[in-house]
Amino acid sequence: MKVLVIGSGGKEHAIAWKLSQSRHVNNIYCAPGNAGIAEIAECIDAKPGDFSTLIDFVKYEWIDLTIVDMPELLSQGIVDTFQREGCKIFGPRKEAAGIGASRVFAKELIRRFGVPSAEYKVFSSYLQALDFVRLKGAPLIIKTAGHAQAPDIFLARTVDRAAEILKLIMKDNMLGEAGRQVIIEEHIEGKRVSFVAITDGITIMPLSSLSVFRAPEDAGTDFPPGDAGAYSSAHHLSPELESAVKEKILRPLLKALRSTGMMYKGILSVDLIISHGMPFVFDLNSGFQNLEAQTILPRLRTDYVELMSLALKERLAEAAVSWGDETSFCVTVFSKSGAGLHPERAKIKSLEKIKDLQDIMVFHENTSFDNHDTVAAGSIVMSVNATGSDLRKAGAKAYDALEKIQFKGKWHRKNLGDSALE
């Protein structure tokens, strides 16, 4: 079986790595890939947004399955385009992917079907939004209606801070088209946790929970943009709470999508707030987000190709998903400029020292080749994943491996495992 993965980030690396373990897969291709993916797949010089070139490649090479997990491509209709050409592809069609592309669409849909979420209002006018904030008071959550590459969800603990955020988004156009509208919603105090599921449009199957380490609200310039790490499963998500997520969130979401005639086939990521023992939807995303694939897939024992194949055939109810008992822990490695050095020119050393380490995997996010050297190609360079019998042991393994990787401008958050156990 030949498989093409579209993308060049850490989740594509994790997906390609998981595919390499499948008994069904003989050849893996990636467009365009990165330096890490190149070790397990043949990287193709094609832009992810160039659908016609990708389809020509799929037909020429007789690719059996294409996997796309980039929300921007899903919202542009890449799945619809491939299917019209008779090419098998895993991911939701354009209309269904709207639940992850438009927060307004998602909020309206889940409110209509009674899925627990915060009360909200949508604004296109800066002055009207500002008047509402002054009337409502703080704290409040402010979100862009569309998803942006930069952080696009803000907690405003004061009215002045809310006004500042609204100005940056709606007047200064800080986040571009994504901030043309904003959603202002009530702040539900609680723990934030992500829950990932796979669906064939008929059955929705929970995969795993995870907790993500995000930058502190007052991080300033000392913290590069991006999530600092993650671990799975989320230890504060009890079996009873997982059951509540399935019954009160996941199944009603699928019902909502089906009621509108949308057959969502693919990965669905639900960002939750757990408050007083109850789950509330905080955000929805099409496909794996942030560090989800890198953190979850190392624990998955079921053949991922078989799981996707059943979803495409609308036979997901027949699947039996098996997970390892271990904890998976992931730390993000950043590149910060220094002494006139640009991150994309930083040579990464000593990667070979961790290739043979047990229970360790490095997933490249933004890397490329400079002659024969692997170099950083962005502020988020890679993530180091480790599995262990518990959170503390998995974290210790990840940090031990991380210390072996060296490049100028390297930076990471420390003691993430300890903060998770507090």
Every domain of the chain with CATH number 3.30.1490.20 lies at 119-186
The architecture of the domain spanning 2-90 is 3-Layer(aba) Sandwich (3.40)
Residue type, 145: A
Residues 188/245, Cβ–Cβ less than 8 Å: no
CA-based end-to-end distance of the chain: 46
Residues of the chain below pLDDT 70: 216-225, 337-344, 419-422
Residue 323 is classified by DSSP as B
Every domain of the chain with CATH number 3.90.600.10 lies at 327-421
Residues 290/363, Cβ–Cβ less than 8 Å: no
Domain 191-318 part of CATH 3.30.470.20: yes
Give the model confidence (pLDDT) of 356-374 as tens digits: 899 999 999 999 998 889 9
Determine if the pTM surpasses 0.85: yes
Homologous superfamily in CATH for domain 119-186: ATP-grasp fold, A domain (3.30.1490.20)
Give the model confidence (pLDDT) of 148-171 as tens digits: 877 899 999 999 999 999 999 999
- Percentage with pLDDT > 90 across the chain: 81
Provide the pairing of β-strand 2-7 with 266-275. unpaired
Give the model confidence (pLDDT) of 266-283 as tens digits: 999 999 999 999 999 999
Every domain of the chain with CATH number 3.30.470.20 lies at 191-318
Q: What CATH fold (topology level) applies to the domain 327-421? A: Glycinamide Ribonucleotide Synthetase; Chain A, domain 4 (3.90.600)
Strand locations in 25-118 (E): 27-32, 42-43, 65-68, 89-90
**Cα 66 from chain centroid (whole Å):** 19
